[in-house]
Every structure is written in C-alpha cells, then in structure tokens.
Amino acid sequence: MNRLARFAGFGRRKQEPDAQDGDTAVLHEEEVEVAVERMDPEELREPIIASLRGVHDPEIPVNIYDLGLIYRIDIAGNGDVSVDMTLTAPGCPVAGMMPLMVKSAVERVEGVGQVSVQLVWDPPWSADNMSDEARLQLGLM
C-alpha cells in the first residue's frame, strides 16, 4: 500500500461493537491489508510523457517535452519518479515555476509515487533538442 493510501486510512474498516447493555459504542479501527496492483515502471513512462506534454513554456507555444527540456525520466520500482530538466536559458523568467509545473504534471499520473525534479544546465539546451513536431510548429522546418 502506498504512503498516501496508508495516511488517508485506505483499507481500514471501522467496526461498531454491540451496545446492548447501554454502553456507549466505541469505534475501533482494524488494519486490513489491501492488495495494490503493481505496475511495471516502464508502463508509467508513456502516461508521464503524455502528462508532460500538457505543460507549456508560457513564452513558447510548444510543450516542454517536445521542446526538449526534459533530459531524463527515471522511474523506480515503487513508482517514485526523478526528472532532470532544463530551461531554454538560465535567465528564463519561469525558472522558479517550471519545475513545480513539471512535478505537478508527473504527480497526476496514476501509479506515480514521490516525484523529484532537478533543474540542470549541463548540457545547455539548444534548438537541436526539439522534436520535429516542435520545429514544424515554430516554423523552423
């Protein structure tokens, strides 16, 4: 069971004992083990990429994945995800906001656990990182 489900009390049943003698009924929580389906980490890759394609740089009308801003997506066996990303320039005005947008997009994918996003500058981003779709959309092809 993942941490969020355990924290939320998923899988616990509340049982009410008999209160025939006029005693106040007390609720007790009983831990019940619930089978949670495990996904192959690679099965998460495509849904994560699809979610990242929903994140756009506010200054460029192309999603960040096709812009080539996502350098690495590592998916652990427990569903935890680590993303290395960059920006088009170190002075980008959304530098503080973009990693949070990426983290939020990845967290929305069902089956994903903890998400960590690292902003990296090596190698520096260049237009060569863009997909053909992005180049076409920006009129570079």
Distance CA 30, CA 49 (A): 39
Q: What string of DSSP letters covers 36-88? A: -PPPPHHHHHHHHHHHHTT-B-TTSSSBHHHHT-EEEEEE-TTS-EEEEE--S
Stretch (H or E) spanning 102: helix 98-107
10-residue averages of pLDDT along the chain (141 residues)? 52 52 53 58 92 90 94 94 93 88 96 95 93 90 76
Q: pTM for the full model?
A: 0.70
Please check whether residue 55 is in contact with residue 101, taking contact to mean a CB–CB distance below 8 angstroms: yes
- Domains along the sequence of the chain with CATH: 41-124 (3.30.300.130)
